[in-house]
């Protein structure tokens, strides 16, 4: 069976996209699902969170990066299967959860530009380029479809060809957002884009979810904004609190740890969110 495909996206930066991808992937993998995370962000945040810096350096030296995967289509050469680029069993959670990762590197930001330059000079227009990025991403997933229950894309802030491709092939979209006015404005514009992609595939808008992040229960602005979001969008019941432990969990630990050790007091809410996510995307 094909895996569920989910993009975690927001035009806005710093809203907790990578943190959400990492904690969700770790929780679901530790519950026995086979999860693949694909890092589409040159900042490589989720790669560092899930693989740690040492392994990230090793993978990079072995050319097992998303840059190298796409490079072979831009520059040619002997093609390698997508699965050969994927790192198996990452994460510092104990029990070797089935959590795999395709890392990104800072150089990934140049691939898109090189690809555009090359393909535009060959006469492709923007629509065709979009299709090309989508096809490449799609065939990547097909190559590993039997191996996973869930594929999660961590998208960069702003918009990129790769993020567009991920949105276009994802069955579900999760938009993490901080409950404040500026962030809510940002969702309107972005949601339209996501909706268009869903409609093209005859999916309905109930596949686009907003996740409230960095929530401060004692903050009355957060309370009122969270209520407005709930009226206007399809929002997860679970709100991810602003919590020191969640920020600390980003740092790799050389000692394996349980989810409870890693996320501390926030682990219950992280498990709740994972449970709600499973229900909504049909991974029960």
Ligand X SMILES: Nc1ncnc2c1ncn2[C@@H]1O[C@H](COP(=O)(O)OP(=O)(O)OP(=O)(O)O)[C@@H](O)[C@H]1O
> Judged by CB under 6 A, does residue 45 bind ligand X?
yes
Stretch of 39-47, 82-90, 100-108, 249-257 contacting Mg ion, by CB under 5 A: 39-47
> Judged by CB under 6 A, does residue 214 bind ligand X?
yes
Q: Please, which residue, 34 or 38, has the CB nearer to Mg ion?
A: 38
What tokens appear for 231 in the block? 């009226």
Stretch of 72-80, 113-121, 226-234, 240-248 contacting ligand X, by CB under 6 A: 240-248
Q: In what order do the strands lie in the sheet with 99-102?
A: 99-102, 35-39, 150-154, 4-8, 172-177, 208-212
* Options 10, 18, 27, 213; binder of Mg ion; rule CB under 5 A: 18
Distance CA 207, CA 34 (A): 21
State the number of binding residues for ligand X (CB under 6 A): 19
Q: Please, which residue, 22 or 144, has the CB nearer to ligand X?
A: 22
Q: Among all chains, which residue has been given the structure tokens 């190559």?
A: 143
Residue 243 interacts with which of ligand X, Mg ion, none, CB < 5 to 8 Å by class = ligand X
Evaluate whether 163 touches 156 at the Cβ level (below 8 Å): yes
Q: How many CB atoms lie within 10 A of CB 191?
A: 18
Footprint (CB under 6 A) of ligand X, residues 120-179: 157
> Judged by CB under 6 A, does residue 240 bind ligand X?
yes
* Options 4, 5, 6, 19; binder of ligand X; rule CB under 6 A: 19
Distance CA 52, CA 9 (A): 23
Least gap, CB of 133 to Mg ion (angstroms): 20
Least gap, CB of 13 to Mg ion (angstroms): 7
> Judged by CB under 5 A, does residue 17 bind Mg ion?
yes
SS3 of residue 4 by DSSP: strand
* Options 5, 6, 7, 17; binder of ligand X; rule CB under 6 A: 17
Q: Please, which residue, 34 or 90, has the CB nearer to Mg ion?
A: 90
Residues 6+ apart with CB under 8 A from 214: 15, 16, 178, 240, 241, 242
Residue 239 CB burial class (10 angstroms; 0-12, 13-18, ≥19): buried
SS3 of residue 98 by DSSP: coil
Stretch of 38-46, 130-138, 190-198, 216-224 contacting ligand X, by CB under 6 A: 38-46
N- to C-terminal Cα separation, the chain: 14
* Options 63, 143, 234, 242; binder of ligand X; rule CB under 6 A: 242
> What backbone phi and psi angles, to 5 degrees, belong to 181?
-60, -50
Q: What is the DSSP letter of 86?
A: P
Footprint (CB under 6 A) of ligand X, residues 250-279: 250
> Judged by CB under 5 A, does residue 12 bind Mg ion?
no
Site residues (vs ligand X, CB under 6 A): 13-19, 41, 43, 45, 157, 213-214, 240, 242-243, 246-247, 250
Site residues (vs Mg ion, CB under 5 A): 17-18, 45
């Amino acid at each position: 069976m094909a895996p569920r495909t989910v993009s975690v996206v927001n035009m806005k930066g710093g809203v907790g996209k990578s943190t959400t991808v990492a904690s969700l992937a770790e929780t679901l993998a530790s519950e026995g699902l086979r999860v693949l995370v694909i890092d589409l962000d040159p900042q490589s945040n989720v790669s560092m969170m899930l693989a740690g810096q040492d392994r990230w350096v090793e993978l990079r030296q072995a050319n097992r990066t998303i840059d190298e995967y796409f490079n072979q289509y831009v520059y040619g050469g002997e093609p390698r299967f997508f699965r050969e680029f994927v790192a198996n069993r990452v994460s510092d959670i104990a029990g070797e959860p089935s959590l795999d990762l395709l890392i990104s590197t800072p150089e990934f930001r140049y691939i898109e530009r090189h690809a555009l330059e090359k393909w535009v000079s060959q006469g492709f227009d923007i629509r065709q380029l979009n299709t090309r990025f989508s096809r490449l991403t799609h065939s990547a997933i097909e190559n590993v479809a039997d191996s996973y229950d869930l594929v999660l894309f961590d998208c960069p802030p702003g918009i990129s060809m790769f993020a567009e491709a991920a949105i276009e092939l994802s069955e579900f979209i999760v938009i993490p957002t901080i409950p404040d006015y500026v962030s809510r404005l940002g969702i309107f514009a972005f949601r339209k884009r996501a909706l268009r992609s869903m409609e093209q595939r005859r999916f309905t808008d109930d596949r686009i979810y907003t996740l409230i992040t960095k929530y401060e229960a004692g903050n009355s602005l957060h309370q009122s904004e969270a209520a407005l979001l709930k009226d206007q969008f399809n929002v997860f019941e679970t709100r991810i609190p602003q919590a020191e432990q969640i920020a600390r969990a980003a740092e790799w630990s050389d000692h394996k740890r349980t989810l409870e050790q890693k996320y501390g007091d926030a682990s219950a809410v992280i498990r709740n969110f994972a449970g709600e996510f499973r229900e909504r995307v049909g991974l029960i």
